[in-house]
Structures are given as structure tokens and as C-alpha cells.
Structure 1
């Protein structure tokens, strides 16, 4: 019995997923906004897969008072190799698209889902580390805390909002485009 290849529509869906995955290298994936009476316009930390952006210096200056370690690109070694992982997944997606084998697609989907789960767990680990490993000799004594990955949190007089942004939404779209061939070619 000869196994049929994934359809051309499925191939194009996977090519689109690969392009979208590659594009996510250039857009933010996650962010956190900080609001307080002295900062009504808010302060931002914006996380790209390659760098941190936003009001990092101001946030670090404020975090000093509660004994939190400074945020920097060097604080997160993942930012050094994340571009290679993202580009590698995009290339693997193209390979699966051109080979059009469903067995490879299952492996790709599993790898993509595993990468997403590891990424979320890693974010949680960093949030916990920064929020609970506070310097006990800091000028302001604050109970350890863990900011949420998504949602609102109040720390002293600051209200923080954590959220996924364009990169995460595009990765979700890429995942949908990866699983679409399983539905499209379900009879094969």
C-alpha cells in the first residue's frame, strides 16, 4: 500500500506557518506594564525572542528599592540562543512542508507544543526567581511574590499587567496552520 502525501493545500499551510514562525523573531512575544501614582502613563518591559526592551533602566532603578535583581539581556541566557531555536523550527516546518509526510508532521507538532510548554515554564521560573529572591537588606521590606504570566497583580503601590503580545499570537496562528493539515488530510 502506497501512502499518499499531504495535499498541496496542506503544504502551503505549513509553508505559511514557517514564514510566520520566522517573522516572530522580529516582534515582541510578551510584556508587562507597571502603573503607580508616580507613573500614571505606565512603564513597560517588552520581551522579544532576542532582547528586552522598554523602560528597563527605570524599572531596574525602582526594583532596587525592593531588593530585586536587575533585568538585562545577560540575565536571560535564553535570549542568546532563542533566535537559533526559532529559525530551526521554521526550517523544520519548511522541510516537513516539502516532504509532505504526515508522520513528520506529527513529530513537528509535538516538538512545537513541547517548545511552547518549556517556554512557558521557563517564563514562570524566571518570574518566580526575580520575585522571591529579594535582598533582605533592601530599603523596602516586601513579601516575596510571583508576578503572573498573564493578568494583573498588585505589588506595593504598583499595579502590573502581564500579557502575551504579537509574537505569541503569531506562534498560535502558526500552530493552527500546522494542525490544519491533520484535519484537511484526515482521510489519507
Structure 2
């Protein structure tokens, strides 16, 4: 018979679930574009359910290199993401209340798979937008793939990609799901 998780582990999982839901209210990722004509930079800010920032200006500029426009409709996963996150939060919360160690591994596994799929999806979209350029665009540019994190130069633009508040909250939630492994190590 498997032993129940401690109260400390249960509280850590409850905090993890709360952090997951909290992350929905903050942007997860962003990209800032700098150029001589935009020294203050232009932003694309990605929330788990919508895009924000200087989308119209960036789309107007991207037209010149033949890049597909950024829009909420460009990312079919956006309308479902909040439900997936809430679903994971409910699962983590249930594991916390049931206090079964075997279920803890399921929660950690689901969280890990979700994170891997999320990073893969970001990389896939960045590749699609940067490599599927319209050959009839006014400015011919070699295909490129912006990094998920870091700096990239495209023509006269320098871009900086970065995780932001929501992603850090997700990271904290993941750590909170791992804490029970440490708390239960002697059992």
C-alpha cells in the first residue's frame, strides 16, 4: 500500500495549481524588435490566449519581407491553451487532495510533456514564419529562424526573444510539483 503524501506535499501541489491558473493573467513570451527607425523597439507579447503589443506595425513591416501576418487566428492553439492550463491545474489540485504518490508522477509527467510540447510548438511557429517567406515580396531575404530565447539580426532589425512573467510563474509551479519528491524522499 502506498503511503499518503505529507501535508507539506499537499500544500506544495495546491500552490502549484494556483500558480498555473495565475500564469494565465500574465504574458508568457515576447519579442522586441529594434531598428534605427524604431530605437524604442516594437513588441510582440504572447499571452496564453492572445497576442498583444505592436502587432499591426510589425505586420506592416513583415509584409516587405513576405512574412505571414501575426494574428490570433494564426495560432489555432490560443483559444484552447487556457483550458489546457486550467485542466492541468485541476489535475495537480486533485493529486494534492488525494495525496497519492503514484499520482504525483502522473502530474509531473503531464506537466513535463506539456512544457516540451509548448517549446516544440513555439519553435515550429518561429520556423514557419521565418522560412515560409513569399518569394514575390518587395525585399528578398534569406529564410531565418528566430530563437526562442536570445538575439537575432534580420536585415536592419535586431530582435530579442525572451520568456516573461507568465513563463516564470509556470516554472515556479513546476518546481512546486517537484518539491513533494524531495519532501517524500525518506518515505
TM-score normalised per structure 1: 0.98
Match runs of 1:86-125 below 5 Å: 86-125=85-124
> Given the alignment of the two structures, is residue 5 of structure 1 paired with residue 11 of structure 2, yes or no?
no
The Cα offsets for residues 78-133 of structure 1, whole Å up to 9 and x where unpaired, read as 10110110000010010000000110000110110000000000000000000000
Q: Indicate the residue corresponding to 1:156 in structure 2.
A: 155
Distance in 1 (CA, whole Å) between partners of 2:10 and 2:79 is: 31
Distance in 2 (CA, whole Å) between partners of 1:42 and 1:117 is: 30
Q: Indicate the residue corresponding to 1:30 in structure 2.
A: 29
Q: Indicate the residue corresponding to 2:39 in structure 1.
A: 40
Runs of 5+ consecutive residues of structure 2 not aligned to the other structure: none
Q: Indicate the residue corresponding to 1:127 in structure 2.
A: 126
Distance in 1 (CA, whole Å) between partners of 2:77 and 2:165 is: 19
Residue 4 (structure 1) shift: 1.8
Match runs of 1:128-143 below 5 Å: 128-143=127-142
Distance in 1 (CA, whole Å) between partners of 2:164 and 2:102 is: 32
> Given the alignment of the two structures, is residue 20 of structure 1 paired with residue 24 of structure 2, yes or no?
no
Q: Indicate the residue corresponding to 1:146 in structure 2.
A: 145
Q: Indicate the residue corresponding to 2:59 in structure 1.
A: 60
- How many residue pairs match? The answer is 187
Residue 3 (structure 1) shift: 2.7
Residue 61 (structure 1) shift: 0.2
Could you list the runs of 4 or more consecutive aligned residues of structure 1 that deviate by over 6 angstroms after TM superposition?
none
Runs of 5+ consecutive residues of structure 1 not aligned to the other structure: none
Q: CA-atom RMSD, angstroms? A: 0.6
Q: Secondary structure at the match of 1:163?
A: strand
Q: Indicate the residue corresponding to 1:185 in structure 2.
A: 184
Residue 186 (structure 1) shift: 1.1
